[in-house]
């Protein structure tokens, strides 16, 4: 295991955080506990994003502790010691000595955690930690009178990506784009949704990455379920397939959605809806400019979607009525476009920083170095009985999503190599069989 950033970048993040914390503060950042799936089989381990961000430790049982006194910042990384008997079964650990090359002042055995932290606490006026992540740290925290949450401060730092972070995210977006294209090439009528999922996630593995979230592969009406999970149905000739999938590189995620016809040709109703969603998506991307209000992309997308639904005869009203409340945008167009337009992207797929429409703490405007998704969609579920679905659009679900970097020169689409134009998609689907 190596570090994806120079030591200086981690040290810069630590210094930046402690400039925001009051003097005489101690910070305790645990990584995640391992979780049991069944009996003695665990879920794949993924470190806490805050741990990755501040010191890059990827093994389990790690705790990062930092403190400042009169401007002097010191840090300790508590890690499991080497243990030959365990390592025979589970693999070689970095250990206390090996961890000294990480961006910390010193290291110590995790076995000393409680004793050393409780001995230090009395020397500081402010204690910051994240609760609910580590049982051991939660237990120690019960001995502390007042604890503050550092995540709001760290979240603001994580909004803006460094040059090296952007490089990792570009790699994740490029691999994700290639995986989507590969799945399109291999797709034929009669395939199972799980086979398409396998094509995508197998590509991730071949590229030495992993999925950033369980892939959504919805064929036909399953595409109208926003977070469809089953991926267990056959995709028939004439169906659309919605694939929402992304990979992770050095902890950094991509998140890309494409929708395409399993037989290689869009029908007229499918094309009409697809063109509308694509038009809205492109306009949403163009709205991702430095200084633009955070809410602008959603407004621009919503106006195009609403007007398109009117033009197609799906809504029988004017644009103002279709949009609803000026601020809430809660008009009848929301029957078919139920989610927000985008979210921040980074160490988490739905990254921190208040990055979804309506979330508290959302930024007032976009800044250089922010990375976000733009993902409009339209869904005409044939199983819904709460609204009237036009027959010719019944069962159609379409979402298009790209990863977008905000720069002074304008928006940069990190996932631009993933096909989304109709002519390109129709030429690719099934071409690799």
| pLDDT recorded at residue 70 | 79
Select which of 339, 359, 382, 424 is catalytic.
339
Cα–Cα–Cα angle for 188, 421, 350, rounded to 5 degrees? 85
Q: Rounded distance, CA 292 to CA 14, Å?
A: 30
Select which of 128, 252, 379, 393 is catalytic.
379
Per-residue pLDDT for 304 more than 90? yes
Select which of 227, 367, 391, 408 is catalytic.
227
Q: Rounded distance, CA 294 to CA 256, Å?
A: 20
E-strand stretches of 31-110: 36-38, 41-42, 63-69, 72-79, 106-109
Select which of 67, 168, 356, 399 is catalytic.
399
**Model confidence band, residue 358 (pLDDT cutoffs 50, 70, 90):** low
| pLDDT recorded at residue 357 | 59
| pLDDT recorded at residue 71 | 79
Select which of 248, 375, 402, 403 is catalytic.
375
Select which of 201, 244, 281, 348 is catalytic.
244
CA 68 → CA 7, 50, 194, 308, distances in Å? 19, 19, 51, 57
| pLDDT recorded at residue 374 | 98
Select which of 343, 348, 393, 403 is catalytic.
343
**Model confidence band, residue 353 (pLDDT cutoffs 50, 70, 90):** confident
The answer to whether 7-158 and 163-428 have equal CATH topology is no
* pLDDT per position as a tens digit, 396-421: 999 999 999 999 999 999 999 999 99
Asked if 90 is an active-site residue, the reply is no
Select which of 58, 61, 165, 401 is catalytic.
401
Q: Rounded distance, CA 323 to CA 299, Å?
A: 9
* pLDDT per position as a tens digit, 286-300: 999 999 999 999 999
* pLDDT per position as a tens digit, 239-282: 999 999 999 999 999 999 999 999 999 999 999 999 999 999 99
Asked if 125 is an active-site residue, the reply is no
DSSP state of 75: E
Select which of 46, 82, 126, 350 is catalytic.
350
Cα–Cα–Cα angle for 349, 31, 125, rounded to 5 degrees? 110
Q: Is 317 exposed, middle or buried (0-12, 13-18, 19+ CB in 10 A)?
A: middle
Out of 2-16, 100-114, 342-356, 378-392, which region has the weakest mean confidence (pLDDT)? Answer: 342-356
CA atoms within 13 A on the CB side of 113: 24
Dig out the tokens for 16 from the structure.
């930046």
Name the CATH superfamily for 7-158. Creatinase/prolidase N-terminal domain (3.40.350.10)
Asked if 271 is an active-site residue, the reply is no
Asked if 339 is an active-site residue, the reply is yes
CATH class of 163-428: alpha beta
| pLDDT recorded at residue 433 | 73
| pLDDT recorded at residue 362 | 86
CB contact at 8 A, 400 and 281 = yes
**Model confidence band, residue 1 (pLDDT cutoffs 50, 70, 90):** low
Which residues pair with residue 129 across a beta bridge? 28
- Neighbour-count burial for 342-377, b at 16+ CB within 10 Å, e otherwise: bbbbbbbbebbbbbbbeeeebbeebeebbbbbbbbb
Asked if 67 is an active-site residue, the reply is no
Domain positions in the chain = 7-158, 163-428
Asked if 180 is an active-site residue, the reply is no
Helix (H, G, I), strand (E, B) or coil at 146: coil
Mean residue pLDDT of the chain comes to 96
| pLDDT recorded at residue 251 | 97
Asked if 386 is an active-site residue, the reply is no
Helix (H, G, I), strand (E, B) or coil at 141: helix
Per-residue pLDDT for 148 more than 90? yes
Asked if 384 is an active-site residue, the reply is no
Asked if 40 is an active-site residue, the reply is yes
For 369, the enclosing helix (H) or strand (E) is none
Average pLDDT over residues 185-208: 97
Helix (H, G, I), strand (E, B) or coil at 284: helix
């Amino acid at each position: 295991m190596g570090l994806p950033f120079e030591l200086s970048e981690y040290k810069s993040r630590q210094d930046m955080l402690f400039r925001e914390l009051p003097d005489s503060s101690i910070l305790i950042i645990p990584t995640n506990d391992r979780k049991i799936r069944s009996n003695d089989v665990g879920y794949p381990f993924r470190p806490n994003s805050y741990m990755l961000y501040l010191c890059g430790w990827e093994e389990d049982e790690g705790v990062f502790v930092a403190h400042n006194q009169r401007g002097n910042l010191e840090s300790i990384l508590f890690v499991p010691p080497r243990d030959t008997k365990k390592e025979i079964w589970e693999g070689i650990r970095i250990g206390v000595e090996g961890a000294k090359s990480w961006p910390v002042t010193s290291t110590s055995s995790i076995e000393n955690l409680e004793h050393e932290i409780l001995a230090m606490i009395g020397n500081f006026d402010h204690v910051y930690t994240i609760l609910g992540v580590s049982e051991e740290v939660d237990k120690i925290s019960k001995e502390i009178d007042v604890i503050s949450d550092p995540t709001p401060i760290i979240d603001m730092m994580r909004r803006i990506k460094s040059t090296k972070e952007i490089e990792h995210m570009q790699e994740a977006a490029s691999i994700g784009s290639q995986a989507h294209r590969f799945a399109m090439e291999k797709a034929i009528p009669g395939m199972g949704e799980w086979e398409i999922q396998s094509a995508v996630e197998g590509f991730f593995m071949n590229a030495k990455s992993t999925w950033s979230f369980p892939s959504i592969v919805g064929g036909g009406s399953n595409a109208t379920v926003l977070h469809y999970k089953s991926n267990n149905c056959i995709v028939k000739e004439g169906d659309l397939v919605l694939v929402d999938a992304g990979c992770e590189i050095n902890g950094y995620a991509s998140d890309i959605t494409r929708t395409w016809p399993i037989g290689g040709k869009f029908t007229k109703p499918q094309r009409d809806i697809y063109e509308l969603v694509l038009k809205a998506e492109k306009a949403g991307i163009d709205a991702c400019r430095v200084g633009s209000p955070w809410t602008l992309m959603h407004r621009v997308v919503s106006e195009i979607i609403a007007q398109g639904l009117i033009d197609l005869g799906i809504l029988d009203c004017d644009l103002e009525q279709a949009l609803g409340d000026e601020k809430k945008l809660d008009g009848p167009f929301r029957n078919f476009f139920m989610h927000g337009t985008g979210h921040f992207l980074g160490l988490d797929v739905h990254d921190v920083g208040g990055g979804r429409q309506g979330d508290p703490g959302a930024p007032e405007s976009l800044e250089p170095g922010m990375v976000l998704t733009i993902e409009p969609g339209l869904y005409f579920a044939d199983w819904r009985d709460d609204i009237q679905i036009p027959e010719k659009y019944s069962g159609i679900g379409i979402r298009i999503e790209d990863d977008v970097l905000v720069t002074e020169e304008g928006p940069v689409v990190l996932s631009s190599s993933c096909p989304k134009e109709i002519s390109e998609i129709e030429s690719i689907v099934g071409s690799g069989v």
